[in-house]
Chain A
Amino acid sequence: MIAERVYIKAKTVNEAIHIASQHPDDFCFIAGGTDTMVNKFQGNQTANCFIDLTDLDELKILKQEDEVLKIGALLRLADLKKYDAIAKDFPALIEAAHSVGSPVIRKSATLGGNILCENRCVFYNQSEWWREAVGYCLKCEGDVCIATGGAKNCFSKFASDTAIALISMDASIEVVTAEGSRLIKLIDIYTGDGINPRRIDKKAIITSILLPVNRAFRCSYKKLRQRESMDFSSLTSCVSIDTNGKILIALGAVDPKPILIEGTLNDDKSLLIQQALKKARVIDNDVFSRKYRREMIKVFLERSFSELGC
């Protein structure tokens, strides 16, 4: 009566992909598992086959290659600060990693796992009983979005904090599939569809995160939440300026995907803020209201510009 479950620790990336192909519609990769296990407990993650990636030592390496720093996707959030190469050139990433979950969670959670963290919504991250009682939303095979009352779009919030810091520093990722490996801009894997928030083959594995080393980013990272620990974000922002005066503004938790605004030091900052506000599809699915979160986008960005001296 109770379905057969398996738990497999993959030894290599190829093996992991191979196992996945044997359980095509019923598998889930897990790294730290700190979100996946909670989703499983709540019945949102129902895969019977778990493919544990934590033994893939090849994904725990940090190295500099040409113009990029390659950060192994399985490096844990708590460990990033131990690497001088990150601490020196990309402190915002460490700050972002440090703002995720709790200290013990950060000792399991990985960078790769965090950028793939499932979108969240107060009407979705609930137990099976709860979702049945509310009448199932779009994200769990219902036919209406409870948060907006609409039937077309799911607005579950983008939940990764590290992705916001990474995107503001123009990060790319290396993705491996059965067909081989390729590089993609991190921002490009996010769809903006709350139900299927990532356009990346389910059987693909992100092996590393790549950051450009010669752009001398100066960043300002901020996260809105009720408590200074544990909480998922209600608004994450990261503003970066590189050596060429290029500004990248990334916002999280205010849309199903990260919001990216590009500008330069010469741009009118209030216009950049206007653009950000225009792009962010904030809805009332959070402890803070839509109105307040929009207001805070403005405050955070103004503060960041001021901190960065522009």
Chain B
Amino acid sequence: MKQLKLTINGKQFELLVGEHEMLSSVIREKAMLTGTKIGCEQGSCGACTVLVNHEPVLSCITPALRCDAADILTIEGIASDNNLHKLQTKFIEKGAIQCGFCTPGMVMTSLDFVNNNPNTTVHEIKEALSGNLCRCTGYKKIVEAVAEYSMEQLTPTINQAQSNNLVREQHTIGTPRPYIDAKKKAQGVAEYTDDIKIKNALHCKFLKSIYAHAKIESIDISEAEKLKGVRYVCLGRELPIKFGVLPISQDETAMAIDKTRYLGEIVAAVAADTEEIAEQACKLIKIKYTPLKEYFTIESSLNDIGSEEKIHAHTRQNNNIHKKAELRFGDQQQGLANADIRAKLSFEFEGISHGFTEPHAAIAYWDESGLTLISATQVPHYLHRALAKTLEIPLTKVRVIKPFVGGGFGGKGDPFPHEIIIAHLARKTGKPVRVRLSREEVFITNHGRHPSKMTVEMGVSKDGTIKVLDADIAIDGGAYGSFGVVTSYYNGVLLQAPYKIDNLGFRTHRVYTNKPQCGAMRGHGAVNSRFAVESLIDDLAEKLNMDPCELRLNNFLSSNTLTVGQYRITSNGSRESLHAVMQQSDWKNKYRKLPFGHGIGVGCGFFISGSALPIIWNELPQSTVHLKVDFDGRVVITSGASDIGQGSDTMLAIIVSEVLGISMEKIFVLAADTLLTPVDLGSYSSRVTFMAGNAAKDAAENLKKELLKSIAQKNNINEAELNLSDDRIFSNDRSIDISWEQGIEILTAKRGAVSVSGKYISPKLGGDFKGAGAGLSPSYSFGACIAEVKVDTRTGIVKLLNVWGAHDCGKAINPLAVEGQLEGSWHMGIGQTMSEQMKYYGGLLLNNNFLDYKIPTTLETPDFYTNIIESHDPEGPFGAKECGEGALHPVMPAIANAIYDAVRVRIHKLPINAEDILREMSKIQTEFSDPIHK
């Protein structure tokens, strides 16, 4: 240890630091300034950026002792007094903040850049931010915020006028507004799990398997236990109870017990006084393995395995097939016979990681009330149940708290081994235990999009009517079940819209392999098969000599109809979405008219707005919201819904504000704490706005009723004559006109605080056949994208120029948030199409970090043209439905179809790499005698 003197945000510190300690650790753990985030621990994400002597550095790879006597500025120090820095204000106003985890780094990097480059351009800003990863926003709003800030620095007069405009307070549905927690995030004071300091906590580290499939013969922990500072070493047999997010796939234990099923599976866990000691102890544990035959491919797991050992004993046959899902509607053979033109293609998709910027983290402690687990989770409710089950304690003894979460996208949507293990370690040691996964561990924890292979056949009649769709799909589930049964169905059932297809069939096999498990990821289950279908439609349009937009328009389902698999379609903005992007992109003048190497393509899609059936079958409402109002007039919303950066807390507040006619300032949201908040099933399947939003609306309406009843009684008038608006309660004739607070005084007189409840229960939907429940939703979103690309015909490298996107979200409760969801979805879709993949060497993930897993930076992200389409859903809260996942589907095939338009090659394998384009181009070269005129 060495003494380090430095100044952080103007305050002097004298600290004892480790010789090789990083600056980020000193700032976070010693100066307790947790606004500086740890995202990757290797300088590849930018979340830890701080200024040292007025220059930005990545504090996670900067030795602390280099900074002796330095002047350090962190996110917490950039504002003076109680004001926000103008750049922070811009980030807030422009909606540049979603989960907020990248925000401190973004702000610090931008601040340095603009200060040194007062006369800058948008391209230069993008370049300056190209080392700061954001997984939520698609960068558009961040770049806009920085550009506007920079412009206003040069011309401060515009500044005044514009910001006055932007901070104008309104409280109606449909007004773009920042998240209610955006300020905290901009200031770096929003506490994510790893920012929460619990006294006397132990640190947990894991020993991970070095075999993909092996029997554990013996484990010797004696040396590890002897190490000073080690408090407990835990093995799998202590936590033998199986869990899994789906009741039908309870196939995982917290740690490997008798055998390991993937490389990186946790075999032992250590709780120690410091991370370093815990890590050291892990190295002292000796394990003897006997390797078993490993299965890494879909093919090897589909086949009979002879006398070898299966991955899971419970699978039905002598292979590693986890689930076979098959549904057939109409008659595919007849459909093919009726089709004039058919197309059949095979596709391959690599696995994809969620890439949220905040690594998994959790803290566990026990007291007289039982277990409290603070965790970066999307599903406190399921975690609550899984902890009670695996730790064998009553549900009444588990409290799960979700603090700020730095993105999830489905990746924090299961109960996880690390959560169960630290709860167990905390029980054993009697001390709080904390864990933060390394980025490598986050990658191998996975639960990402399944690697998939599929052959899809479609047929159309000459007039351009889709006659048939038949898909044969295999998905690689990795070592455990996770959401995989749902994924298996979604791959097929979510092809029954947005087009009317009478003869639709699919078969999906999900196999276990000895790789990290796959699960749900944004756009769950349907992303890859949607890519296949939209590619085929493009191909069929070509064969029909028909504009692919026209072919799509010909086949869209209408509003208020049933699909072939009996999905109830209510509102449907497919047509409006496609029209919007066709017009905005100048489609008619570009399609097949651009010079060789330059192309434009289209794709459409749809998605569920929450699953109509709960995962765990019971009759609880899907969401319950409580409202409490006390003498002070403040309305407290309690909801189990998990804001993971998508803005659901803000959505709840807006809805309550709208119903009660009160300003947002009077509303306080308390969410996602299973002790205090009523059950909401969680943030998955794009259900929160629809379901928790409806529950909040119901609760607010119930409060309104109570309030108006009490005022009506007191004043002897009919409740129906009373109105709530602009923080006032008034009768039609204005004979009564009182403030909200006066009204609350009447409501609470002789009664005290009033609590009301609201709920959402999905209507009974769907057909009466096995599998009918898959993909049932009370409403569906629809959308379209057009992409424009340039292909370098000698290198095969694709430059994505523009994406025009439109998404029918029913009604944008908060248009700023909706745009952010759409842009983030497109960005993620671009990643999967162009560069992202989980690359394995056998069962070892090769690219388990943010340098090698290629999330697009600002420079690979094209200009987005964002269109919100509002179809006013009859059952959505104020007409709203989902916008967080569906937009991802259409962008991917739009890019591939644009590449086809550019160079006439159709790529069936994602990510699309330059090499494949060149190879395919060389195959057809002879067909292009004159490449300029296609």
Instruction: Select which of B210, B228, B856 is within 8 A of A227 by beta carbon.
Output: B856
Q: 1/0 per position for A191-219, CB-CB distance to B under 8 A?
A: 00000000000000000000000000000
A123 and B841 contacting across the interface, CB-CB below 8 Å:
yes
| A152 part of interface (Cβ distance < 8 Å) | no
A101 and B61 contacting across the interface, CB-CB below 8 Å:
no
A127 and B440 contacting across the interface, CB-CB below 8 Å:
yes
B58 and A34 contacting across the interface, CB-CB below 8 Å:
yes
| B367 part of interface (Cβ distance < 8 Å) | no
B440 and A30 contacting across the interface, CB-CB below 8 Å:
no
A50 and B63 contacting across the interface, CB-CB below 8 Å:
yes
Q: 1/0 per position for B561-605, CB-CB distance to A under 8 A?
A: 000000000000000000000000000000000000000000000
Instruction: Select which of A1, A108, A134 is within 8 A of B227 by beta carbon.
Output: A1
Instruction: Select which of B131, B210, B438 is within 8 A of A101 by beta carbon.
Output: B131
A5 and B131 contacting across the interface, CB-CB below 8 Å:
no
| B854 part of interface (Cβ distance < 8 Å) | yes
* Given contact pairs A5-B18, A38-B43, A107-B56, A227 touches B918 in the complex (Cβ within 8 A): no
A226 and B43 contacting across the interface, CB-CB below 8 Å:
no
Residues of B within 8 A of A103 (CB): 109, 113, 127-131
A104 and B49 contacting across the interface, CB-CB below 8 Å:
yes
Instruction: Select which of A6, A37, A129, A299 is within 8 A of B795 by beta carbon.
Output: A299
A292 and B918 contacting across the interface, CB-CB below 8 Å:
yes
**Minimum Cβ distance to chain A for residue B278 (Å):** 12
| A83 part of interface (Cβ distance < 8 Å) | no
Of residues 190 through 217 on chain B, the ones whose CB sits less than 8 Å from some CB of chain A are 208-211
**Docked complex Cα distance between A235 and B393 (Å):** 57
**Docked complex Cα distance between A107 and B783 (Å):** 42
A227 and B19 contacting across the interface, CB-CB below 8 Å:
no
**Docked complex Cα distance between A169 and B774 (Å):** 64
| B835 part of interface (Cβ distance < 8 Å) | yes
Of residues 104 through 147 on chain A, the ones whose CB sits less than 8 Å from some CB of chain B are 104-105, 107-108, 122-123, 126-127, 129-130, 132-134, 146
| A229 part of interface (Cβ distance < 8 Å) | yes
**Docked complex Cα distance between A232 and B847 (Å):** 13
B280 and A230 contacting across the interface, CB-CB below 8 Å:
no
Residues of A within 8 A of B22 (CB): 37
Residues of A within 8 A of B795 (CB): 224, 296, 299
| B55 part of interface (Cβ distance < 8 Å) | yes
**Minimum Cβ distance to chain B for residue A104 (Å):** 5
**Minimum Cβ distance to chain A for residue B342 (Å):** 33
| B526 part of interface (Cβ distance < 8 Å) | no
| B775 part of interface (Cβ distance < 8 Å) | no
Residues of B within 8 A of A299 (CB): 794-795
B109 and A295 contacting across the interface, CB-CB below 8 Å:
no
**Minimum Cβ distance to chain B for residue A61 (Å):** 19
| B442 part of interface (Cβ distance < 8 Å) | no
**Minimum Cβ distance to chain B for residue A25 (Å):** 17
Residues of B within 8 A of A132 (CB): 210
B228 and A1 contacting across the interface, CB-CB below 8 Å:
yes
A38 and B42 contacting across the interface, CB-CB below 8 Å:
yes
Q: 1/0 per position for A220-243, CB-CB distance to B under 8 A?
A: 000010111111100000000000
* Given contact pairs A108-B57, A122-B852, A227 touches B859 in the complex (Cβ within 8 A): yes
Instruction: Select which of B58, B276, B846, B847 is within 8 A of A108 by beta carbon.
Output: B58
A2 and B851 contacting across the interface, CB-CB below 8 Å:
no
| A52 part of interface (Cβ distance < 8 Å) | yes
For B835, give the chain A residue with the smallest CB separation: A226
| B263 part of interface (Cβ distance < 8 Å) | yes
Of residues 769 through 786 on chain B, the ones whose CB sits less than 8 Å from some CB of chain A are none
**Docked complex Cα distance between A231 and B55 (Å):** 22
| A304 part of interface (Cβ distance < 8 Å) | no
| B41 part of interface (Cβ distance < 8 Å) | yes
| B914 part of interface (Cβ distance < 8 Å) | yes
* Given contact pairs A103-B109, A228-B859, A292 touches B914 in the complex (Cβ within 8 A): yes
Residues of B within 8 A of A30 (CB): 63
Residues of B within 8 A of A126 (CB): 846, 848
Of residues 447 through 469 on chain B, the ones whose CB sits less than 8 Å from some CB of chain A are none
A7 and B19 contacting across the interface, CB-CB below 8 Å:
yes
Residues of B within 8 A of A258 (CB): none
Q: 1/0 per position for A280-307, CB-CB distance to B under 8 A?
A: 0000000111011001100100010000
Residues of B within 8 A of A33 (CB): 61-63, 66
| B433 part of interface (Cβ distance < 8 Å) | no
| B351 part of interface (Cβ distance < 8 Å) | no
Instruction: Select which of B57, B61, B794 is within 8 A of A38 by beta carbon.
Output: B61
Q: 1/0 per position for A1-34, CB-CB distance to B under 8 A?
A: 1100111010000000000000000000010011
* Given contact pairs A34-B58, A299-B795, A230 touches B440 in the complex (Cβ within 8 A): no
Instruction: Select which of A37, A123, A127, A287 is within 8 A of B43 by beta carbon.
Output: A37
| B29 part of interface (Cβ distance < 8 Å) | no
Residues of B within 8 A of A52 (CB): 63, 65-66
* Given contact pairs A226-B854, A228-B130, A229-B130, A130 touches B848 in the complex (Cβ within 8 A): yes
Q: 1/0 per position for B625-657, CB-CB distance to A under 8 A?
A: 000000000000000000000000000000000
A229 and B63 contacting across the interface, CB-CB below 8 Å:
no
Instruction: Select which of B57, B277, B913 is within 8 A of A107 by beta carbon.
Output: B57
A229 and B18 contacting across the interface, CB-CB below 8 Å:
no
A41 and B42 contacting across the interface, CB-CB below 8 Å:
yes
* Given contact pairs A104-B109, A107-B56, A229 touches B49 in the complex (Cβ within 8 A): no
For A146, give the chain B residue with the smallest CB separation: B841
**Minimum Cβ distance to chain A for residue B892 (Å):** 17
**Docked complex Cα distance between A241 and B839 (Å):** 40
Residues of A within 8 A of B86 (CB): none
Residue among A42, A229, A296 with the most chain B CB within 10 A? A229
Instruction: Select which of A34, A134, A292 is within 8 A of B915 by beta carbon.
Output: A292
| B316 part of interface (Cβ distance < 8 Å) | no
A133 and B131 contacting across the interface, CB-CB below 8 Å:
no
* Given contact pairs A104-B57, A130-B440, A229-B859, A40 touches B844 in the complex (Cβ within 8 A): no
Q: 1/0 per position for A27-60, CB-CB distance to B under 8 A?
A: 0001001100110111000000010101000000
Residues of B within 8 A of A130 (CB): 440, 844, 848
Residues of A within 8 A of B529 (CB): none
Instruction: Select which of A1, A54, A127, A287 is within 8 A of B280 by beta carbon.
Output: A1
For A5, give the chain B residue with the smallest CB separation: B19
| B20 part of interface (Cβ distance < 8 Å) | yes
**Docked complex Cα distance between A67 and B128 (Å):** 35
Q: Would you list the 4 A-B pairs with minimal beta carbon distance, nearest first?
A: A102-B131, A229-B130, A37-B61, A228-B859
15 A–B contacts from the bound complex (CB under 8 Å): A2-B276, A33-B66, A34-B61, A37-B61, A41-B42, A50-B63, A104-B131, A227-B860, A229-B857, A231-B854, A287-B839, A287-B854, A288-B915, A291-B915, A292-B914
Given contacts A6-B19, A103-B129, A230-B131, 6 further A-B contacts (CB under 8 A): A2-B276, A7-B2, A126-B848, A226-B835, A226-B854, A296-B795
